[in-house]
Structure 1
Amino acid sequence: MNRRELLKGIGAAGFGSIFPLAKTLSAEEKAEVLQAPSTCFLTPQATEGPFYFDPNLIRQDITLDTTTNVIKTGLPLQLLITVINPDCAPIPNVLVDIWHCDKDGVYSGYPGQPGGINTVGQTFLRGTQMTDANGQCSFKTIYPGWYPGRVTHIHFKVRLTSTTYVTSQFAFPDSVNTAVYRTPLYAAKGQNALTNATDNIFRNPNPENLVLAITPNAATGGYDGAFTIGINVPTRVGEAETENPEEFSLRQNPPNPFNPMTTISYHLPGARKVQLVVYDVFGREVAKLIEGEQSAGMHEVAFDASHLSSGFYLYTLRAGSFAVTKEMLLMN
C-alpha cells in the first residue's frame, strides 16, 4: 500500500490520532508557535529550512554523530523546551525534533554545503524527545555556528502525528552571538555580518516569541536556554470508544506510545475474512498480523515491534468492504 492510500484511509475513517485531540491541524495549515515567559499569545511559524530529515533519533544528547562516533565540539548548550496550548496548559506526549548546524555552519545529512562538504549519512546535532507530564523535554547540544545568508538559529518541529505538526525556528540574542564568536572555538570563522534584524527570516532585532531565553552556565562554560512552543490545538481527551454490535470498529492501541509490545483491538458485526497489516509511514508493509476468516465480536491482537526502529506506524484493518487505518508510535 502506498502512503497516499494510507493517508486517505485515515482521513476517510476519522483520524485515530495517538493523542486524542478535539481538533487537529493539517500539515498544510498555518501552524502557530508561542514564546512567552508569563503570558500566552500566538505568533506565526517560520520556515522549516532546507536541512530537515527524520532519522527517528530518539535521544537527549545530540552532539554525537551516530555514523562516525565523533562528538561535535563547541560551547555546551543545555536546552529546555516547553510545549503548551493557548491557555498555557502543558501538552504531554508530543515529539519535539530539533536540528542545527555545527560551529562551522555545517549540517549533518546533506551534500553540497559551504566548501563542498558532504555529510550524507551523518546525524550530528539532530534529535527527538517526547514531552513529559509538564510538557517539557531537554536536549544537550552545542552553540550553533553560522553560514552565509543566515543568522544563528535552531530549527524545531513538534509532531502531534506523522502528518500533523508545527514547524519553526528560533534565534539567539545578537549580543550573545557576538560574545560566542569571539571565543577560541569559534573565532577562526569570525563574526557573522548578519543580525536578527537583517536576517531574511526573522527581520527584527528581537523577533517576537522567536528568541531563545539564554543565560551563561558557569559550571559548563556554556549556556542554558529555554524556549516555549505554543500550539493552537486543544488538549481535551476524547470520549471512550464503544462498540455498536451492528458496526465495524478499530480501537486505538494501548499503550500508545509503546515499547515494544502493544495490543490492537477491533469489532466485527459478523463473520468476515479479515486482514490486519502494519505499515511504516511510507506505506511499506512491516507486519501482517491477521489474514483469514474470523467470527463476529471483539478481537485482540498482540503486536511485538522489537524488530522495528522508533517512529510512527500505521495499522489497517480490512474486513469485506470495510477498511480503516489508525496510527501508533513506537519509542524504543
Structure 2
Amino acid sequence: MGHDHEGQRVSRRRLFAGISSLGLGGLLAAACGDSGTTPVTTSTGATVTPRATTTKDLTALFEDAGTCELTATTTQGPYYFDADKVRSDIREDREGVPLRVAIKVQDSETCEPLKNAVVEIWHCDAAGLYSGAESLSTGGGGGGGAPPSGGPPPGGAPTGGGENDGSMDLTPTDDKRYLRGAQVTNAEGVVEFTTIWPGWYRGRTIHIHAMVHVSSERVLTTQIMFDEKVNSVVMAKAPYAQHTGRDTFNDGDNIYREGMLMKVSGEGDGYVGAIVFAADSDKDGN
C-alpha cells in the first residue's frame, strides 16, 4: 500500500498536501471462519448469517447498496471533532460484535468514483459512549450511556451540559479516540473501516456518523443505519445486553431515511456492510 499512515496522529486537514502518497489498497481479502450464528431475515427479505465473506460478496453488496442519487445530508451531531486518526481499525479497546464497514463514494452528478476523498466515521460504543466526549455522552456521569436529561432533541444534539447544537465541532473533553477514524478513498472511491456494531443512546436509533471531505471542503455529512432485525440480534449479545431500555428505533427516528440503510452480510463472528455515498463534490446542489 506504499506509505502506511495507519495509527498515526495525522490531521485530515494535512492529508490533502500529500494525498497521492496515501492511496489505499482494495478491500481486504476474504475473512475466514464460521460462527454458526442463526440466520436472520431482514425487512428487505435478505438472509444474514455470520460467515466468511469473499470479494464477490462485497461486490454484490455494493451493487445493491444504492445509486448516484444525492445522499441525504444530516446534522453532524454534537460529538464531532477532527480526531487526527488516519487508520482503518478504529476499535482500540472497545468490545462488541465485529463490523467491517465498506463505503464507496461517488460524484452525485457523474456517478463516477471520487478518489482521494477523505472519509471520516465516528460512533458510540456498546454502552452509548463517544470517545472525546465520555462525560458529555453520559450526561455528566448519569450512567447508561445516555445524553443529558431528556435525551437529544431531533437531529441528535443533546439539550444541556454546555454542548453545541450539532452544527459546530466539539472541543474534546477527554483524550480517548476509540471508534473514530479517517481513510482516503482509492481509485474506485472505496474506503474500509474495522469497527464494532454501534450501541445506542436515548432518543436515537443505532447509527454511524460519516463525513466526506474533497479538496479540504466538507461535501457530505450523513449517517448510516441498520436493519432492525439485525440490530435486535446484536443488542441481545454481550456487551450490548447490559445496556437496557432502548427507546428509539428506525421507524421513530427523525433522521432515519431508507437510503441510509447499510447492506449487511455475515462475516466470521460478525458482519460486513457496504453503502454508497453520492456526494455533491462541487457543492452546486446537485
Q: Which residue of 2 aligns with 1:47?
A: 75
The structure with more helix, counted as a fraction of residues: 2
Determine the structure 2 residue equivalent to 1:174: 228
Deviation at 1:164, TM superposition (A): 3.6
Gaps of 5+ in 1: 1-15, 20-34, 65-70, 235-332
1:164 and 1:188 mapped to 2: Cα distance? 37
1:90, distance to aligned residue in structure 2 (A): 0.6
TM-score w.r.t. length of structure 2: 0.62
- Please give the secondary structure, in 2, of the residue aligned with 1:197: helix
1:161 aligned residue (196, 215, 225): 215
The answer to whether the 8 Å contact 2:203/2:247 transfers is: no
Q: Could you state the TM-score of these two structures normalised by the residue count of structure 1?
A: 0.54
Counterpart of 1:222 (choices 270, 277, 282) is 270
Residue aligning to 1:114: 138
Structure 1 residues 78 and 96 mapped into 2: Cα distance closer, same or farther (>3 Å)? Answer: same
Query: Quick one: which amino acid aligns to residue 81 of structure 1?
Result: I
Mapping 1:235-274, distance limit 5 Å: none
Q: 1:82 to 1:141 in 2, by over 3 A?
A: same
Contact 1:214 1:224 in 2 (8 A): yes
Identity across matched positions, percent: 38
In structure 2, the gaps of 5 or more residues are 1-15, 20-62, 142-171
- Return the index of the structure with the highest Cα Rg: 1
- Flag the 1:130–1:80 CA change in 2: closer, same or farther, 3 A: same
Q: Residue in 2 aligned with 1:94? A: 117
C-alpha change, 1:176 and 1:40, in structure 2 (3 Å) is same
Cα distance in 1 for partners of 2:80, 2:66 equals 31
Residue in structure 1 matching 2:90, options 54, 62, 78: 62
Structure 1 residue 138 displacement after superposition: 0.3
For residue 144 of structure 1, give the secondary structure of its aligned residue in structure 2: coil
C-alpha distance in 1 between matches for 2:111 and 2:236: 38
Match of 1:103 in 2: 126
Which of 47, 58, 81 is equivalent to 2:103? 81
Q: Is the 8 A contact 1:97 1:127 kept in 2?
A: yes
- Structure 1 residue 44: Cα displacement: 2.6
- 2:203 maps to which residue? 149
- Report the counterpart of residue 327 of structure 1 in structure 2: none
The answer (yes or no) to whether the contact 2:76–2:222 under 8 Å persists in 1 is yes
Q: Secondary structure at the match of 1:116?
A: coil
CA distance in 2, matches of 1:212, 1:57: 23
Determine the C-alpha separation between the residues in 1 that align with 2:234 and 2:215.
36
Higher strand share: 1
Match of 2:259 in 1: 209
Tell me which stretches of 4 or more aligned residues in structure 1 moved more than 6 Å. 16-19
Task: Indicate how the Cα distance of structure 1 residues 150 and 213 shifts in structure 2: closer, same or farther if over 3 A, else same.
Answer: same
User: Greater RCO between the two (CA within 8 Å, min separation 6)?
Assistant: 2
Say which SS state the counterpart of residue 89 (structure 1) adopts.
coil
- Check the 8 A contact 2:67/2:276 in 1, yes or no: no
Partner of 1:246: none
Root-mean-square deviation (CA, aligned residues, Å) is 2.5
Alpha-carbon distance between aligned partners in 1 of 2:181 and 2:17, rounded to the nearest angstrom: 23
Structure 2: distance between partners of 1:139 and 1:122 = 18
In structure 1, what is the Cα distance between the partners aligned to 2:64 and 2:266? 20
CA distance in 2, matches of 1:62, 1:215: 20
Contact conserved, 1:107 with 1:119, CA < 8 A, in 2?
Answer: no
Amino acid at match of 2:277: I
